[in-house]
Amino acid sequence: MAMLEVRDLEVYYGVIQALKGISFDVNQGEIVALIGANGAGKTTTLHTVTGLLSARSGHIMYEGTDITKIPGYKLVSMGIAHVPEGRRVFSTLTVLQNLKLGAYTRKDKTEMDATLNMIYQRFPRLKERVNQPAGTLSGGEQQMLAMGRALMSHPKLIVLDEPSMGLSPIYVNEVFDIIQSINRDGVTVLLVEQNAKKALSIANQAYVLETGKIVLSGDAKQLMNDDKVKKAYLSE
Ligand code: ATP
């Protein structure tokens, strides 16, 4: 059984069908990438998995439980954390306040402080800026804050939407290194990326979405060598 099993998912915005029956698995401990062009349905997929959108039909199973109709705030306490597209940090709040908001489901202060220390070790730049309003951080730092905020809930599965979007190449590499280190620490990763080359280079499995359907899937390294994938998504 996979940690996350998505089956025949159909999602609509009014009369517009954004997902036309997609199915995929995320195995525990893996990094799974969803790639595809603008408007393919990647963000819609993530929003449905994290309970921000509801499916018209289909199922989402997480650790053997049907979570299709469970709202997002409950999924956080079940171990699913979402890092949204565009980071969405609270810009007038400080770095520390943003991080603490990520821990709203946790009650044990000692454990929360331990997670905070782990985050400071992983993101030294955030530690240096704990009292700075989040809106004054650079794009890359805001991405790190958004990832740190998600880690504060002590997730088993982290769902990342376009973490490299709008970042300079140095930050892109750093963000991907961090995703790999989070994964090495045992957190399963579901990753949506425009940067297909980078995403495939760190992923175990990958799925290619086109206009609401999965058109290709498999081992990420094999997909990197697939002619169709190369032509459509990896051209420089
Ligand atoms: P992007 O990288 O541009 O975010 P995406 O692959 O994440 O693309 P989605 O944002 O999931 O794609 O969009 C899938 C489809 O649903 C698109 O055709 C889009 O226009 C449509 N869509 C998305 N959000 C809405 C909305 N709020 N109302 C109506 N249609 C929407």
pLDDT of the chain, 236 residues: tens digit per residue: 899 999 999 999 999 999 999 999 999 999 999 999 888 999 999 999 999 999 999 999 999 999 999 998 899 989 999 998 877 888 899 999 999 888 777 778 888 888 898 899 888 888 999 999 999 998 889 999 999 999 999 999 999 999 988 888 888 998 899 999 999 999 999 999 988 999 999 999 999 999 999 999 999 999 998 888 888 888 75
13 C-beta closer than 6 A to ligand 1: yes
Measured in angstroms, how far is the CA atom of residue 38 from the centroid of ligand 1?
A: 8
- Ligand 1 atom at minimal distance to the Cα of residue 209: 6
Which residue's CA lies nearest to atom 3 of ligand 1? 38
* 8 A C-beta contact, residue 187 and residue 153: no
18 C-beta closer than 6 A to ligand 1: yes
Its ipTM equals 0.91
pTM above 0.80, yes or no: yes
Residue-range domains of the chain with CATH: 4-234 (3.40.50.300)
- Ligand 1 atom at minimal distance to the Cα of residue 37: 6
41 C-beta closer than 6 A to ligand 1: yes
E strand map for 67-147: 80-83
Residue appearing with tokens 């939407």? 161
Q: Are strands 4-13 and 16-26 parallel, antiparallel or unpaired?
A: antiparallel
How far apart, in whole angstroms, are the C-alpha atoms of residue 118 and residue 112? Answer: 10
